[in-house]
């Protein structure tokens, strides 16, 4: 698994400042209604899986921000097919 290639693809999709390496994978910041929400991409069996962030998940618009991130992965699926289970 080429983590640098994946990080570059994430940065292209979400912006350089919105992708941070994390001990379990990456944390991705998604802007929704002028608020930043964090989505976690964690490693599971050599694949990345989207997960909700424990800190942000109780916020009012979090589910919509999560759906926005998921849609962004689908729109850009050619960049992520080998890494992320959608």
Give, in order, the Cα–Cα distances in Å from 80 to each of 5, 34, 83.
10, 26, 5
pLDDT at 85: 61
Per-residue pLDDT in tens (0 to 9) along the chain, 86 residues: 678 888 999 999 999 999 999 887 899 999 999 999 999 988 788 777 888 988 888 998 999 999 999 999 889 888 877 766 66
Is residue 50 within 8 A of residue 40, CB to CB? The reply is yes
- Could you state, in order of their start, the residue ranges of all structural domains in the chain? 13-53+60-80
């Amino acid at each position: 698994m080429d983590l640098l290639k994946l990080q570059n693809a994430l940065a292209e999709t979400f912006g350089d400042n919105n992708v941070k390496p994390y001990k379990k994978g990456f944390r991705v910041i998604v802007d929704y209604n002028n608020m930043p929400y964090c989505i976690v991409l964690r490693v599971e069996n050599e694949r990345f899986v989207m997960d909700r962030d424990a800190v942000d998940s109780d916020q009012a618009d979090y589910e919509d921000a999560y759906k926005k991130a998921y849609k962004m992965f689908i729109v850009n699926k050619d960049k992520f097919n080998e890494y992320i289970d959608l």
